[in-house]
Structure 1
Amino acid sequence: MHDDAGGPAAGGRPAGPGAASGFQHDALLYDDVAEVTAAAVPWLLEGLAAGDAAVVAAGPGTTGPLREALGDDPRVVVVERHALYRSRTPTAITAFRRFAAEHAAPGRRVRVVGEVDFGATDADRREWQAYEAVVNAAFARLPLWGLCVFSTALPEPLLRAARQTHPGLVTAGARAANPDAVDPAAFLRALPVPDEPLESTAPLLADDEVTDLSGLRHAVRERLATVPGPPDVLEDFLMAVDEMVTNAMRHGGPPAGLRLWAAPGRLVCTIRDSGSGLDDPFAGYGPAHGEDLARGGMGLWLARQLCDHVAIRHDGSGTSVRLTTVWA
């Protein structure tokens, strides 16, 4: 399956530690929040004195001590953590791009203390591990300097991902190149896709050889009409399915197929084609052609915004995109 949305809107590669411009992405693994305060407060104050902007998007246990140590400095923008990190990953990417555009003075950066909420499910955790790798490319040319903080109480797979996705490492107030960092594309390709139990059950709708896109769209809409869910959520899901089926038929090898499942508070749809595959691990985290939306390349980008989870898988017979939406 192919999509014109070939990579993040920013493109490029991550800036290395110590680079004078472009994105810098550091990790701090902490046992006690006092370690965050000791490292982040001087760093933020140094930036403010030099004309950088400052943003804090962390959990309350981290934000409170930071605000107290900074004296509630009005130049520090405090963002509700869940507004960024419990939304969908493209929303967070768009928000940080906006911070860079609106708050960075010419020749200066926006310094961000961020603390991702990885969520409670395997699918959530995969999304936000992927995010930490994606931003190395998505923000490569942006005047952002991120200090991402991670409690060592997090599960070891998340801590390992933190070490692998940040080119810089902060320890005891010192910043150095991170020897554990890996290439973001390699990290994304190796990140496993969790199983979805619904895929092993009888589908609500199955069409393993789609030939009539309009007819399939009508059939999906009919099935979704039987699902007791929020109308706006169901409509968003239908739009995402339509985008992915259109992609499969236009860009993937025939035949293209679809299977749809529903459970209380949950929708899953897997769209498959027999093509050689979409090999860009950054696809769909920004429109393919940047701000020029008229040029297309929006399929996966829209799907990632409309669904909670989008998983791309390859095997010997083709490529599939699994869309998942959940609600309370």
Structure 2
Amino acid sequence: MSEPEHGPAGRHSHDALLYDSVDELISAAVPFVLEGLAAGDAAVITAGARTTGVLTEAVDGDPRVHVVERSAVYGTRTPAAVTAFRRLAERSAAEGIGRVRVVGEVDFGRTERDWLEWQRYEAVINIALAPWPLWGLCVFDTQRLPEQVLVSALRTHPNLVTPQGRGSNPLFGDPVRYLRSLPVPPEPLENTPPRLAASDVSDFIGLRHAVAAELATSGAPRDVLGDFLVAVDEMTSNAVRHGHPPVDVALWISPDRLVCTISDRGRGWDDPLAGYGPAHGADLSRGGMGLWLARQLCDHVDITHPGEGVTVRLTTHLR
């Protein structure tokens, strides 16, 4: 492990700290923050309450260290986190600050399905945040996090930090290849009769009304149902515009989740980064927002290529 060094000033640097104790967390993360302040960087902590408390106490409550609520950055869905970090960099740049150092701690959730979503995120941001002047130190408590998450941390961070210094991570691999290697979990509801099945869709207004009527029977909050309906609309429109007919839609409703699949017979695409930002960047007038919106409106968006065509599966938990 090399001595601590400055990451590139003009682009994203993505480091991981896997720590076993509070002392190890402090010994590695605090120098990262203080060296950043000395270099004129902004310093941000966005972590769980325990980690935030430990680190703010260790820097003696230095007012230059900004604490941002974890939920305000990471939210509940991964594209929102990508957007939040970009905005953080943009605000700092507007204030004349060239780079932002962030000690970040993802809430990976309680289930393997949740873990997988954030594993994807950790791989995606190596590319999605590459042009932004952000230096992230992602912290992982090895005593609390599941082994699956810790293994993923070693696969998705180019650099590792310890109390002894910072160095390149030999286990880091190509993010796109890693994303393609992740499984698409099976959905047991797909083995049961759907609440609604529409084949060779052509009447999109009628489909929307039919889906909305079925969703209304779930008793879920109106905003949750509205978000899910918009996501179904967007993915059906995408299938029609970019795929090849017939377009088929199936909807399942259970007490704890909503699931919808939209399938077409087009060639599809092989881009595991799709939907983590607008397809055309900041120019939203050019469209390309469908999958991006769906990832923000649903808990899980899975894309598969079952033989000919593409199937997009939308899932929202009814919390």
- Partners of 1:245 and 1:123 lie apart in 2 by 24
**Residue 46 in structure 1 maps to residue 32 in structure 2:** no
SS at 1:41's partner residue? helix
Task: Report how far residue 102 of structure 1 moved.
Answer: 0.9
Take 1:166 and 1:112, find their aligned partners in 2: how far apart are those partners? 14
Matched to 1:129, the amino acid is Q
Aligned partner of 1:236 among 217, 223, 227: 227
The answer on whether the counterparts of 1:271 and 1:320 sit within 8 Å (CA) in structure 2 is yes
SS in structure 2 opposite 1:148? strand
1:252 has 2:246 as partner:
no
| Structure 1 contact 163–181 (Cα < 8 Å) conserved | yes
Shift of 1:121: 1.8
Paired residues of 2:74 and 2:84 also in contact (CA < 8 A): no
Partners of 1:173 and 1:82 lie apart in 2 by: 31
Partner of 2:292: 301
C-alpha change, 1:86 and 1:119, in structure 2 (3 Å) is farther
State the identity as a percent. Answer: 63
Q: 1:181 aligns with which of 172, 183, 207?
A: 172
Residues 188 and 281, structure 1, Cα contact 8 Å, conserved in 2 = yes
Contact 1:86/1:117 (8 A) holds in 2: no
- The partner residue of 1:195 within 186, 191, 198 is 186
Matched, 1:119 2:101: no
| Range 218-227 or range 81-90, more displaced | 81-90
Q: What is the CA-CA distance between 1:18 and the residue it aligns to?
A: 4.3
Deviation (angstroms), 1:86:
4.6
Matched residue type, 2:81: A
SS at match of 1:220: helix
After superposition, the C-alpha distances for 1:58-85 in whole angstroms (9 at most, x for unaligned) are 1222111100011111111112223433
Name the aligned partner's letter for residue 39 of structure 1: A
Distance in 2 separating the partners of 1:208 and 1:192: 27
Match of 1:3 in 2: none
Structure 1 CA distance for aligned equivalents of residues 81 and 217 of structure 2: 32
TM (norm. structure 2) is: 0.94
Q: What secondary structure is seen at the aligned counterpart in 2 of 1:315?
A: coil
> Alignment length, in residue pairs?
312
- The one-letter code sitting in structure 2 at the alignment partner of 1:126 is L
1:275, CA displacement in angstroms?
1.6
CA contact (8 A) 2:9 2:98 kept: no
Residue 163 of structure 1 corresponds to 154
The residue that corresponds to 2:268 in the other structure is: 277
Cα distance in 2, alignment partners of residues 310 and 33 from structure 1? 36
Match of 1:19 in 2: 8
Which residue in 2 is equivalent to 1:94?
Answer: 83
State the alpha-carbon separation in 2 of the partners of residues 196 and 138 from structure 1: 28
Q: Is the 8 A contact 1:122 1:194 kept in 2?
A: no
Contact kept in structure 1, 2:249 and 2:263, CA below 8 Å: yes
Q: With structure 1 as the length reference, what TM-score do the two structures score?
A: 0.91
Tell me: CA distance 1:107–1:71, structure 2 relative to 1, closer, same or farther (3 Å): closer
1:321 aligned partner: 312
Spell out the pairing of 1:20-169 with structure 2 (5 A cutoff): 20-104=9-93, 106=96, 108-153=98-143, 154-169=145-160
Letter in 1 for 2:178: F
Q: Is the 8 A contact 1:33 1:61 kept in 2?
A: no
CA contact (8 A) 1:86 1:119 kept: no
Deviation digits for residues 73-102 of structure 1, max 9, x if unmatched? 111111222343351111111111111111
Say yes or no: does 1:265 pair with 2:269.
no
Match of residue 5 from structure 1: none
Map of 2:303 onto structure 1: 312
Which one is further off, 236-245 or 33-42? 33-42
Greater Cα shift, 78-87 or 274-283: 78-87
SS state at 2:305 partner: strand
Letter in 1 for 2:35: E
Separation of aligned partners in 1, 2:270 and 2:210: 30
Provide, for residues 186-237 of structure 1, a one-character-per-residue CA deviation record: whole Å limited to 9, x for no partner.
1111111112221111111011321222221121112112221101110111
The 3-state SS of whatever aligns with 1:29 is strand
| Structure 1 position 106, deviation (Å) | 4.3
**Which structure has the higher relative contact order (CA within 8 Å, separation 6+)?**
1
Match of 1:204 among 195, 205, 208: 195
Q: Counterpart of 2:21 in structure 1: which amino acid?
A: D
